A and B are shown apart, each in its own frame.
Chain A
């Protein structure tokens, strides 16, 4: 079946512009995660959705970052007034349900964001 898809695959933007990154999770997966992967930094947790609600936003680095999920499916991560330090690969993952650490996350290919 189809896996997690993300768009765009690459995004180059100018400092100060807003960007929107999209994630299409696996059908039927209620849990959705956003991570940021920078060189030498590993995966940094940003936000987690269970259905349409976001019980855990603890990883969002600043108020320039926001995310929403509609219809329990597609999610959008928005970065306002982008800065050069926002340059990274943004990864989305989904899982059946976040009931415990046994829940397997399936990752998308990521969006590579470059802020000039």
Chain B
């Protein structure tokens, strides 16, 4: 299975800052089939990005995704208070689908 490693484990930033979250795969992810999800406490995950860089419906344009092969990035250009949450990457190229362990974005 494809192992996804997210870094950092925790990111402490302030509203207005730029956040850069990394997701590294143990092998190449084909077709850029990499998604990002946001999860807030007590809530189900919410799709942010699919296909490495395609924002889901109603996701603000301060969220962007990039990368290819084994290295992928989620960038939040200017943090809003509601963006502090846990973020997961997921590959859906190869079965079994796998998730990274998550990055917790906390208020500094």
A and B pair up: no
B positions within 8 Å CB-CB of A: none
A positions within 8 Å CB-CB of B: none
